Structure 1
Amino acid sequence: MPCGLRQLSSLHRLTRFILPQKNALAKNYCRLGELNELNNIRGSLSIENLGHITDAKTESRVANLIEKHSLDSLALQWGNFDTDDAVIGNRDEALLDGLRPHSNLQKLTINGYNGESFPRWMMGSLVSSLPNLVGLRLWNCGRCKHLPQFGPSKLKRLEITEMKFLEYLPEECWKSLSSLEFLRIKYCPRLTSLSLGMQHLSNLVDLSIRSCEELDLSKDKTGKILDFQGLKSLRSVEIIHLPKLASLPQWLLQLSNLERLEISSCVNLKALPEHMKALQSLQRLRIFRCEGLQSLVT
């Protein structure tokens, strides 16, 4: 972005703000400080190449995102850069901490963040910092081991993708998400189990779980059989590339309102149980690339 953008103080629409990828170019192009006085921008904003910022603490605060009260949607994207150095993780934590948006924000995407934990304004309780948030996308947050603390919220859509160190989903995370309608969990290779707390997702309509190699859909982390009696609104379920899936979990067979079920690339699935007949609302069943499947009933 060209220098001098900060002078457009009456600007209403700025969908992309692209930072320079090389320090040698920084003096000729916009830094985050150029956003400081652009407090009239509204709609959606994507800030890109955050991974190339060096003075994270100072630059993030001068961006002054917390004063941009008319923004509905914000995407914070780090881009591709070397993540081997632990210093990068500390820098990212300071950077995201200073990029706290205004409480009016409705949709937030964080992509490529490499801190080990999310900042205080996310971990304390999202409902206190972003009470109007209805959509949250966490993509490629490679070092994070824990999800934010949601608190009682209006969140309707949650996507968790490429969180490589996420091992389990704490029960307390889900108890306050009764408004959630759409849940995507993808490419989390260390995730071993779902949480019994998901039974509180009484308004969940669409669930998709993909490419979680260690995930057991039937039991929680203590070995207790999962029972999601509260998922009365669930209409669509996708289960894709779960190598540990040998049989369909009991909670899935209790979804009396389920209309669509897709099972793909689950190589160890051997059979579909007779209890499938309980899914009396099912309109579409799609099964493919399940090479181990030998029969449709047991």
Structure 2
Amino acid sequence: MNLSILDIRGCAMLDELPKDIYNITHLKIQREEPLELGPDSDSDVELHLFDGPPTGNIVRNIRDAKRINLNERESIKSLSYECMRKEGWDGEAMLDALQPHQNLQKLCIRHYQGLMFPSWMRSQMDTFLPNIIKIKLFSIYDSEDLPVLGQLPKLEVIVVDNMPKVRRISDEFCGQRNAAGISFPSLKRLTLTNMWELEEWVTAVVAGDGERGTSLFPCLEELCISDCPKLRVRPGIPPSVKTLDLESSVLPLLTGLDGCQMSLKHLSINDLEEWISLPESIRHLSSLETLRIEECESLATLPEWLGDLSSLGSLEIRDCPLIDYLPASIRHLTALKTLDITACSESL
């Protein structure tokens, strides 16, 4: 055998070579340099799985993933996984080998191609990531379920964007409740975006008589729902929500405001095409301070009951071309300080 150079650079899926190959005298094996993370790694790290830009931190295979010992890197506080989608590459096994340290506070996963999340995100996640504050999941096309996040004691922010196979967010999302009997004990902000097939989100335990029971999101204050055209919230928006931002979603979401009549302070509605008039449920938001309505092209009139919103301090109406007058009751809005009307009917 006269082989002197074996070039296996670019063979990301090749974990090992035949043992006999090392018996070839003077053989030089050229391979990609494995990623090295020193003991003093930056607190904010982005990893590219399988492939990535030349200057990126690329983890090419499971061997490299195990070598960097990510679960021992206690200095890393923010971690982002960018997964290269290619046929035959086992993203679940790769993320299993890239379990982060318990000190991690922020986690972002993009373009993950596994049917299931790694084992450290499926059960007892509060043991693996007890200090996590923010979790973002982007463009995860194959998984039908969200990881169980309700047990994480410090989790404050969740962003889920573009998971097209998720149809239902049930109480399984919450997992087992803590010693105080609640889930998501610290969650303050939730964003659901581009969830085209999401049909149902369960927000509370329903009692035997059909009445709303214990909220599954007791501390949630800010809720953003965008481009979720099939979504229904059952039994309704969590009563703790103070800020609600709806964009390109469906009207029934605004019929579930009964539970937050006293708490909701800021309501933003953008691009709800099927609207002709404002739903009656808004009328009873006695604590509402700001109302912004934008790009609702079918909205033709504003109701007289608008004057019942006694706490309203700011009213913004933009890009609603059919609205050509304001109701007379607007004079009863004694707390109103800001009135912004832009790109509506020329007669207004």
RMSD after superposition: 2.7
Instruction: Tell me if 1:182 matches 2:189.
Output: yes
Instruction: Tell me if 1:108 matches 2:107.
Output: yes
The aligned residue for residue 332 of structure 2 is none
CA contact (8 A) 1:135 1:157 kept: yes
- Distance in 2 separating the partners of 1:77 and 1:247: 33
Amino acid at match of 1:203: C
Q: Deviation digits for residues 38-60 of structure 1, max 9, x if unmatched?
A: 13224211113545679632222
Task: Please identify which structure carries the higher strand content.
Answer: 2
The aligned residue for residue 77 of structure 2 is 72
Aligned length: 258
- Distance in 2 separating the partners of 1:118 and 1:275: 38
1:112-261 alignment, distance < 5 Å: 112-153=111-152, 154-174=154-174, 176-197=183-204, 199-217=215-233, 220=234, 226-228=235-237, 231-232=239-240, 234-242=241-249, 244-245=250-251, 248-251=254-257, 254-261=260-267
Q: 1:97 to 1:156 in 2, by over 3 A?
A: same
The aligned residue for residue 10 of structure 1 is none
The aligned residue for residue 276 of structure 2 is 270
Shift of residue 251, structure 1, vs aligned partner: 2.7
**Unaligned 5+ runs, structure 2:** 1-8, 13-29, 53-57, 175-181, 206-214, 306-348
- Distance in 2 separating the partners of 1:93 and 1:122: 11
Shift of residue 283, structure 1, vs aligned partner: 1.9
Shift of residue 268, structure 1, vs aligned partner: 1.4
Amino acid at match of 1:158: I
- Distance in 2 separating the partners of 1:169 and 1:179: 19
Q: Whose Rg is larger?
A: 2
Q: TM-score, normalised by structure 2?
A: 0.67
- Distance in 1 separating the partners of 2:258 and 2:159: 20
Q: Deviation digits for residues 207-229 of structure 1, max 9, x if unmatched?
A: 10001122224xx4xxxxx145x
Q: Structure 2 residue aligned with 1:23, among 1, 4, 10?
A: 10
SS class of match (2:71) = helix
**Unaligned 5+ runs, structure 1:** 1-21, 221-225
Shift of residue 151, structure 1, vs aligned partner: 4.6
Q: TM-score, normalised by structure 1?
A: 0.77
The aligned residue for residue 39 of structure 1 is 39
Task: Please identify which structure carries the higher helix content.
Answer: 1
Identity %: 26
- Distance in 2 separating the partners of 1:117 and 1:102: 21
